[in-house]
Amino acid sequence: MQSKSQETEIKANKPLRICLLTYRGNPRCGGQGVYAKRLSRALADLGHKVDVVSGPPYPELDPDITLHKLPSLDLYNPEALFRVPTLRELKDPINVLEWASVSAGGFPEPLTFALRARKFLHDNRDSYDVVHDNQTLAFGMLDIQDMIPLVTTIHHPITVDKQTELDAAPHIFARLRVHRWYAFLNMQTKVSQKLRNLVTVSQASRKDISEAFDVPEERFRIAHNGVNFEVFYPLEGVERQKNLIICTNSADTPLKGLRYLIEAVDRIRQYRDIHLLVIGKPKEDGVIENLVKKLKIADNITFTGRIEDEEFAGYYASATMAVVPSLYEGFGMPASEAMACRVPVISTTGGALPEVVGDTGLLVPPADTDALEKAIVRLLDDPAERERLAQAGYERALECFTWRNTALQMEEAYREALAC
Mean pLDDT across the chain, nearest whole number? 93
Q: What is the pLDDT of residue 408?
A: 97
Residue 5 pLDDT greater than 80, yes or no: no
The total of structural domains in the chain comes to 2
Residue 392 pLDDT greater than 90, yes or no: yes
Cβ(100)–Cβ(87) under 8 Å?
Answer: no
For residue 169, give its domain range.
10-226+403-419
Kindly report, residue by residue over 78-124, the tens digit of the pLDDT.
888 899 999 999 999 999 999 999 999 999 999 999 999 999 999 99
Q: What is the pLDDT of residue 253?
A: 81
Phi, psi of 196 (to 5 degrees): -95, -30
Confidence of residue 254 (pLDDT cuts 50, 70, 90): confident
Phi, psi of 340 (to 5 degrees): -65, -25
Amino acid at 250: S
Kindly report, residue by residue over 320-344, the tens digit of the pLDDT.
999 999 999 999 999 999 999 999 9
Any bridge partners for residue 137, and if so which?
none
Phi, psi of 311 (to 5 degrees): -90, -20
Cβ(314)–Cβ(342) under 8 Å?
Answer: no
Q: What is the pLDDT of residue 201?
A: 95
- Decide if 40 is inside a domain: yes
- From the list 373, 413, 396, 1, the residue with the least C-alpha distance to 227 is 396
Considering the domain architecture, whether residues 154 and 218 belong to the same structural domain is answered as yes
Considering the domain architecture, whether residues 194 and 267 belong to the same structural domain is answered as no
Residue 21 pLDDT greater than 90, yes or no: yes
Phi, psi of 379 (to 5 degrees): -75, -35
Residue 64 pLDDT greater than 70, yes or no: yes
Considering the domain architecture, whether residues 391 and 409 belong to the same structural domain is answered as no
Q: What is the pLDDT of residue 6?
A: 36
Kindly report, residue by residue over 284-326, the tens digit of the pLDDT.
888 899 999 999 999 999 999 888 989 999 999 999 999 999 9
The torsion defined by the Cα of 236, 239, 242 and 246, in degrees rounded to 10, comes to: -40
Phi, psi of 181 (to 5 degrees): -60, -45
Considering the domain architecture, whether residues 410 and 264 belong to the same structural domain is answered as no
Q: What is the pLDDT of residue 2?
A: 33
Q: What is the pLDDT of residue 30?
A: 62
Kindly report, residue by residue over 122-158, the tens digit of the pLDDT.
999 999 999 999 999 999 999 999 999 999 999 988 9
CATH number of the domain that residue 348 is part of = 3.40.50.2000
- Decide if 37 is inside a domain: yes
- Strands (E) across 83-129 are located at none
- Could you give the maximum distance between any two Cα atoms of the chain, in Å? 80
Confidence of residue 9 (pLDDT cuts 50, 70, 90): very low
Considering the domain architecture, whether residues 114 and 213 belong to the same structural domain is answered as yes
Q: What is the pLDDT of residue 210?
A: 96
Considering the domain architecture, whether residues 270 and 151 belong to the same structural domain is answered as no
Cβ(354)–Cβ(363) under 8 Å?
Answer: yes
Confidence of residue 281 (pLDDT cuts 50, 70, 90): confident
In the predicted model, what is the mean pLDDT of residues 67-84?
Answer: 93
The torsion defined by the Cα of 234, 237, 241 and 244, in degrees rounded to 10, comes to: -20
Residue 384 pLDDT greater than 60, yes or no: yes
- Decide if 128 is inside a domain: yes
Q: What is the pLDDT of residue 28?
A: 64
Residue 190 pLDDT greater than 90, yes or no: yes
Q: Percent of the chain at pLDDT above 70?
A: 96
In the predicted model, what is the mean pLDDT of residues 15-19?
Answer: 97
- Decide if 237 is inside a domain: no
